[in-house]
Amino acid sequence: MDTAMTIDGAQAVALVDHRSGMCLAQAGGGMNLELAAAGNTEVVRAKLKTMEMLGLRRGIEDILITLGEQYHLIRLVPNNPGLFLYLVLDKAKGNLALARYKLTDIERALKV
Which of 41, 20, 25 lies closest to 110 in space, CA to CA? Answer: 25
Model pLDDT, residue 45: 95
Which of 40, 4, 8 lies closest to 21 in space, CA to CA? Answer: 40
Distance CA 90, CA 79 (A): 28
pLDDT tens digits for range 8-41: 999 999 999 999 999 999 999 889 999 999 999 9
Which of 70, 68, 90 lies closest to 10 in space, CA to CA? Answer: 90
CB 66 within 8 A of CB 46: no
pLDDT tens digits for range 32-74: 999 999 999 999 999 999 999 999 988 899 999 999 999 999 9
Domain ranges of the chain: 4-109
DSSP sequence for 18-53? TTTTEEEEEEE-SS-HHHHHHHHHHHHHHHHHHHHH
CB 99 within 8 A of CB 71: yes
Mean pLDDT value across residues 92-98: 96
Class of domain 4-109: alpha beta
